Amino acid sequence: MQDFYIFAKNFHINKAIIRRDGYIYQSLIAFFMTGTGNSYTVARWCAQVAETTGIGSQLVQIKAGEKRGAVPSRSLAVFTYPTHGFTAPWLIMKYIWCLPNGRNLHAIVLPTRAGIRIKGAFFPGLEGTAGYLIAFLLWLRGYHVQGVMGVDMPSNWTALHWGLSKQNAAVIIEMAQSKVKGMLQTVLAGNKHYDGMVQLLVGIALAKVSLMYLIMAQFILAKLFFASDKCNGCSLCQSICPKKALKMVGRQGRPYWTFSCDSCMACMNYCPQKAIEVSPFIITLFYYIATVPVFAYAMSYAAGGDALQWGISLGLGFGIQYGYTLAAIALAYGLLHVALGSRIIRAIAAKLSHTHYFRRYQASNVSLKDIHLHK
């Protein structure tokens, strides 16, 4: 670290860093997509390193509907975002693809993944293809990717498990901070840093799972949330959603989750009333709905037919199954939302929910003003 700072100081000219390969950085732009603050924290660490070395920095939140300006020349672009389904979320993929041409600018990719620490034992997350898929898209957009590294941050999926204790989260964050700062210093000094090749191979092996998540599972997960009787209609969940996936409906203004939800967990973990829940009943109901073999019924048309007929039936069957699943879940969720209009039913559903008894998670030293309301 000391050698790095000597290098940065010696070549600091007009608020710029000249790397060993002659490339000049005048600023760092950290793009982040975040739900509970993990990716924002990684972006902030990168900005702190940049400022320590004497160049300016800027944080840019990735949200649905945001305009995408060109990255300034002589800038290092950092992209950090959560891993979903062992790959990158749709929002970040779309955002990268719609960026103006990078004009050979440098970039690094830092996907965050769900780290777990229980009884002193640490279990790293799995980012799969989340990092190198975005690196490939950036390369197609004209960027020179200088590094890719998955970053373990405390798992925030409180729809499945309780939020990590402050002590366990602090240990994970300390390890992550050291890794991120070390990697960024390596890149600023003129070297490249590619990590996670084993993770990439595992991600390729799980590509089918990732694909099914992107085209189906994430839409089902979007419909697992409901607001309990604690909800006071404050609409904070709608305001902080980076996908703009929530609507406040009805006279009482209760949140309704659309298919745009990415399960970023912002609404559940930042609700001041802790009113956002996930019901095992809804999970069970959706499981039975999604497993109705409409696809098999369509494929029966191909029995005894030729290859062309079988191919047509395969495509038709998948399309029918996909359309049926989304339509059936949307209808079931709509009916559930009507039923949950009763305060008594909401109270019963909350008491029967496992998440009702879970600890929530928010990244430490991060406020809503820093992330979801960031301007």
**For residue range 23-60, what is the model confidence (pLDDT) as tens digits?**
889 999 999 999 999 999 999 999 999 989 889 999 99
Of 82, 98, 33, nearest in space to 62 by CA: 33
Query: What are 328-332's contacts with CB under 8 Å, separation 24+?
Result: 328/289, 328/290, 328/292, 329/219, 329/220, 329/223, 329/286, 329/289, 329/290, 330/223, 330/259, 332/285, 332/286, 332/289
Q: So what's the pLDDT on residue 313?
A: 64
Provide CB contacts within 8 A for 339, sequence distance 6+. Answer: 345
Each residue of 316-372: pLDDT tens digit?
767 777 888 888 888 999 999 899 989 899 999 999 999 999 999 999 999 998 887
Q: Is the C-alpha dihedral spanning 79, 34, 255, 347 positive or negative?
A: positive
Residues 306-321 have pLDDT tens digits of 555 656 666 676 777 7
Distance CA 292, CA 349 (A): 25
Could you give the CA distance from residue 222 to residue 200 in angstroms, rounded to a whole number? Answer: 26
Set out the domains of the chain in order of their start, with CATH numbers.
2-205 (3.40.50.360), 211-357 (3.30.70.20)
Q: Does residue 107 surpass a pLDDT of 50? A: yes
Tell me which of 311 and 112 has the higher pLDDT.
112
**Confidence check: pLDDT of 303 > 60:** no
Q: What is the mean pLDDT of residues 223-233?
A: 91
Q: Confidence class of residue 7 from pLDDT cuts 50, 70 and 90?
A: very low
Strand ranges for 267-355 from DSSP E = 276-278
For CA atoms 49, 53, 55, 56, the dihedral sign is positive
Q: What is the pLDDT of residues 119-141, one digit of tens each?
A: 889 999 999 999 999 999 999 99
* 217 alpha carbon, distance to own chain's centre: 14
Count Cβ atoms within 10 A of the Cβ of residue 179 and give its class: 0-12 exposed, 13-18 middle, 19 or more buried.
middle
219 within 8 A of 329, measured Cβ to Cβ: yes
Under the banding of pLDDT at 50, 70 and 90, the label for residue 281 is confident
In this structure, the strands spanning 225-227 and 151-154 are unpaired
CA distances from 149 to 42, 78, 128, 322 (A): 12, 11, 11, 34
> What is the DSSP track for 209-228?
HHHHIIIIIHHHHTTSEEE-
For residue 359, give both structure tokens.
Answer: 């600890």
Q: What is the pTM of this model?
A: 0.87
Q: Kindly report, residue by residue over 180-223, the tens digit of the pLDDT.
A: 999 999 999 889 999 989 999 999 999 999 988 888 878 888 88
**Phi, then psi, of 347 in degrees rounded to 5:** -65, -40
Q: What is the pLDDT of residue 92?
A: 94
Mean pLDDT, range 290-309, rounded to an integer: 62
- What pLDDT score does 9 carry? 36
8 Å CB contact between 148 and 195: yes
